[in-house]
Amino acid sequence: MSGNYGIKKANGMGSVYRLQGNRRKPWVACVTISLRHSNDAGYKQKRKIIGYYETQEMAEFSLWNYNKNPVLFEEIQKLGTITFETIYQEWSSMKFRCISQNAINGYKAAYAKCEPIWHCKLSELKTIHFQRIMDESELSVASDLKLKSLMVLVCEYAVQNDIINKNYAKYVTINKKERPPEIHKPFSEKEIEVLFAHDNIPFVDTILIMIYTGFRVSELFQIKTKDVDLQNLTIRGGNKTEAGKNRVVPIHERIQDYVLNYYNMGNEYLICDLETGAKINYHAYRNNYFDKIMNMLDMNHLPHDCRHTFATRLSNFGANATSIKRLIGHTSYATTEKIYTHKDIGQLRRAIFSLK
């Protein structure tokens, strides 16, 4: 290894030297890790390079730190090589144990957008790098919020474990975007009556159950038979948001028979595959039932329109705002209302039964 040598250190303390040529980091700090006897030159050193540096002072300082505590120095050096991907894998292995599958899918989608920084050293990532990911995003505002949340949480985990000193992802700003056209529309009163008139078609009753409970498709198929309280005529369900978890929804009289029929089947999940008893996922429901029903009845709706219908009808028929938020488990449910406003089952039942 050729080069111009700098200050000579005491024996065993290593040395600093400069490499020839035009380099960004020309200064080298190295230490001797062993001596081997050589017939030609007495003893031959086996050296270990501990780093390359931009200035002699930086190389000297690193060598001094190494000699103070070689083990600690090497641990710190390792931290400097940890990538965004490494920390994401470690963070997610713990985070994903205690959140819903929908939340997990959201974080995984956000992580896919972070691909340009997967293999970057976390210690070298600054706000500009995270902001570039955000600026190139073509996602919705809601998805951008999830993207920022992921970057902040991963970096915060690294801060908590002394891998980095500062969470630069916190300073990312989300770009304003034009609001996309509304794709959801409520079922009309006439359409609802058409559904009731055709409730002999398999799974039409699930559409009516969602219209009269406000449960999302993913929530509906998570409800277990034991979550139905026949004595009080309520269903407990919901899993997407903190406000919506395990919310209690009274069973409207117009869907009581449908719920009771499923209850009497005695399956683990209230509504499941009629042949196998297995859980139904969103895509199977859309492809095998919902979309076919819409075509048969000449309607144009998405499953989530049922939830919009529920909220819209509650409002139209005079249910108070707090009851609506309680019943649909809306994410905008205010902290003050959650703490200071108390609605009993009777009040929620009156809101449900205000529906026709």
Asked if 250 and 318 sit in the same domain, the reply is: yes
Q: Residue 56 domain-assigned?
A: yes
Asked if 320 and 217 sit in the same domain, the reply is: yes
Asked if 209 and 291 sit in the same domain, the reply is: yes
Residue 204 identity (one-letter amino acid): V
Asked if 106 and 142 sit in the same domain, the reply is: yes
Range of the domain at 133: 84-171
* Strand partners for 356: none
Q: Residue 176 domain-assigned?
A: no
Beta strands in the chain (DSSP E): 4-5, 15-18, 27-38, 42-53, 228-229, 234-237, 247-250
Distance between start and end Cα atoms, the chain: 87
Number of domains into which the chain is organized: 3
Residue 242 identity (one-letter amino acid): E
Q: Residue 73 domain-assigned?
A: no
Query: In which element (H, E) is residue 62 found?
Result: helix 56-68
Q: Is 269 helix (H, G, I), strand (E, B) or coil?
A: strand
Asked if 118 and 248 sit in the same domain, the reply is: no
Residue 69 identity (one-letter amino acid): N
Q: Rounded to an integer, what distance in angstroms lies between the CA atom of residue 296 and that of residue 89?
A: 46
Asked if 196 and 265 sit in the same domain, the reply is: yes
Q: What is the pLDDT of residue 245?
A: 66
Asked if 236 and 260 sit in the same domain, the reply is: yes
Q: Residue 178 domain-assigned?
A: no
Q: Residue 177 domain-assigned?
A: no
CATH of the domain at 152: 1.10.150.130
Q: Rounded to an integer, what distance in angstroms lies between the CA atom of residue 34 and that of residue 8?
A: 18
Tokens linked to 92: 């997610």
CATH of the domain at 334: 1.10.443.10
Tokens linked to 127: 């706000």
Q: Please, what are the averages of pLDDT over each run of 10 residues along the chain (356 residues)? A: 49 80 84 67 70 84 81 61 85 90 91 89 89 84 91 92 88 73 81 96 96 90 94 84 69 95 93 85 87 95 89 78 71 36 58 73
Q: Is 248 helix (H, G, I), strand (E, B) or coil?
A: strand
How are the residues of the chain apportioned to helix, strand and coil, as percentages rounded to the nearest 5? 50, 10, 40
Q: Residue 258 domain-assigned?
A: yes
Q: What is the pLDDT of residue 19?
A: 85
Q: Rounded to an integer, what distance in angstroms lies between the CA atom of residue 347 and that of residue 356?
A: 17
Virtual torsion, Cα 252, 211, 267, 230, nearest 10 deg:
-10
Pick from 325, 323, 318: which is nearest to 355 by CA?
A: 318
Tokens linked to 77: 């050096």
**270 with 234: CB under 8 angstroms?**
no
Asked if 113 and 156 sit in the same domain, the reply is: yes
In this structure, the number of other CB atoms found within 10 A of the CB of residue 155 comes to 23
CA 46 to each of CA 26, 30, 32, 49: distance values in angstroms, whole numbers, following the listed order: 21, 10, 6, 10
Beta strands in 127-246 (DSSP E): 228-229, 234-237
Asked if 297 and 237 sit in the same domain, the reply is: yes
Tokens linked to 224: 């277990």
Q: What is the pLDDT of residue 268?
A: 92
The edge-to-edge listing of strands for the beta sheet with 15-18 is: 4-5, 15-18, 27-38, 42-53
Q: Residue 232 domain-assigned?
A: yes
Last residue of a domain, one of 145, 171, 197: 171
Q: What is the pLDDT of residue 239?
A: 67
Q: What is the pLDDT of residue 320?
A: 72
Asked if 194 and 341 sit in the same domain, the reply is: yes
- What is the biggest distance separating any 2 CA atoms in the chain, rounded to whole angstroms? 102
Q: What is the pLDDT of residue 50?
A: 80
Q: What is the pLDDT of residue 264?
A: 94
Q: What is the pLDDT of residue 33?
A: 74
